[in-house]
Amino acid sequence: MRHRILLVEDESDLGNVVKQYLELMDFEVNWQQSGSDALEDFKRSPERYHILLIDVNLPGMNGFELAEHVVKINNQVPFLFLTARGEKTDRLAGLKIGADDYVVKPFDVDELVLRIRNIIKRKQPAVVPEVVKANNVITIGNTRLFVDSLKLVTEQGDEIVLTPRECDLLVLFFHNVNRVIKREEILTKVWGSNDYFVGRSLDVFISRFRKYFQQNPGISIKNVYGIGFVFNVK
C-alpha cells in the first residue's frame, strides 16, 4: 500500500524537490503551499493521509496554527514540522502541539524518508480488529450484532433490543471500524436526510450507544470535531 502524505511547503523549489523525491520512494504526495489551502484539503478527508509534513513559516496561517486545527479535526494523524527555525523554544512549541518530529532545514531527504517511515510504522495499529459477518450476525471480538432480530449482545453477555434505526446505524459503524465517518454521510445513509432535527436524533443515538458499550474498554465512539465520528475498536 502506498502511504499518502500531505506536504505543506510554500517554497516552490524545496516543495517540488521533496514531492518528487517522496514519490520516487513510492509515497503518494499532495502538495499545498499555504496553511489555509492545506486545512481545506484536510477537512475534505481527514482520514485520507498517513502523515502531514508542515512547514512552520507559512504565509497567513503558520504551521503551528495549521497543526492545532488538524489536531482538533483528527488527533490520530501524525505530523512533523519542516522549518529553518531550530531554536529550542520553537521545537518545544511544535512538540507541545503534538508533533511527532521536528526537522530543521536544510535536511537530508533520505533521512526525512526514514523519519517518515518510522513514524508511520509506530502509528499503525499492531492488531487490526477482525469484523466477521455470517448469517446476518456481525461480530467484533465478543460483541455481536444480530441484524435480523434487532439485537445487540455485549461483551458481558447483556442482550439489548434495538430499534430498526439503531440497528442500521450500528451496521454502518461495524462496517467502518476505526475510520472517520462524516456526519453528513451518516445522516444520509441512515435517515435519508441531513436537516437539523435529524442531526439532533443522531446525537441522541450516539449518547445511547456509548452507554451500551461503557463496560467494554475495547469499543468507543469518538467525536471528530466539525467532521463526524469514529467507531474505535482496539
Q: Is residue 126 over pLDDT 50? A: no
pLDDT, one tens digit per residue, over 170-214 is 999 999 988 889 999 999 999 998 887 888 899 999 999 999 999
How many whole angstroms separate alpha carbon 77 and alpha carbon 64? 15
Are 55 and 82 contacting, i.e. CB atoms less than 8 angstroms apart?
A: yes
Last residue of a domain, one of 96, 123, 150: 123
> Could you tell me if 64 and 157 lie in one domain?
no
Cβ distance 182 to 228 under 8 Å?
A: yes
Count: domains in the chain: 2
Average pLDDT over every residue of 81-90 = 83
Q: Which of 76-85, 119-128, 212-221 has the lowest mean pLDDT?
A: 119-128
Per-residue pLDDT tens over the stretch 26-74? 899 999 999 999 999 999 888 889 999 999 999 999 999 999 999 999 9
146 and 174 belong to one structural domain: yes
In this prediction, residue 130 has a pLDDT band, given cuts at 50, 70 and 90, of low
Domain co-membership, 119 together with 142: no
* Whether residue 118 is found in the same domain as residue 135: no
> Are 151 and 108 found together in one domain?
no
Query: Does the CA dihedral 69-102-77-141 come out positive or negative?
Result: negative
Read off the CATH number of the domain in which 57 is found: 3.40.50.2300
Q: Are residues 49 and 148 in the same domain?
A: no
What is the domain-level CATH number for residue 216? 1.10.10.10
Same domain, 111 and 169: no
Structural domain ending residue among the three candidates 76, 97, 123: 123
CA separation for the pair 154, 169 (Å, rounded): 16
Same domain, 118 and 16: yes
Q: Is pLDDT larger for residue 133 or for residue 211? A: 211
Q: Are residues 94 and 147 in the same domain?
A: no
Q: DSSP readout, the chain?
A: -PPEEEEE---HHHHHHHHHHHHHTT-EEEEESSHHHHHHHHHH-TTS-SEEEEESS-SSS-HHHHHHHHHHH-TTS-EEEEES---HHHHHHHHHHT-SEEEESS--HHHHHHHHHHHHHHHS-SSPPPEEEETTEEEETTEEEETTTTEEE-TT--EEE--HHHHHHHHHHHTTBTSEEEHHHHIIIIIS---HHHHHHHHHHHHHHHHHTTT-TTEEEEEETTTEEEEEE-
Say how far apart CA 182 and CA 17 lie, in whole Å: 34
Range of the domain at 89: 4-123
Alpha-carbon gap, residue 124 to 120, rounded angstroms = 6
Last residue of a domain, one of 123, 155, 186: 123
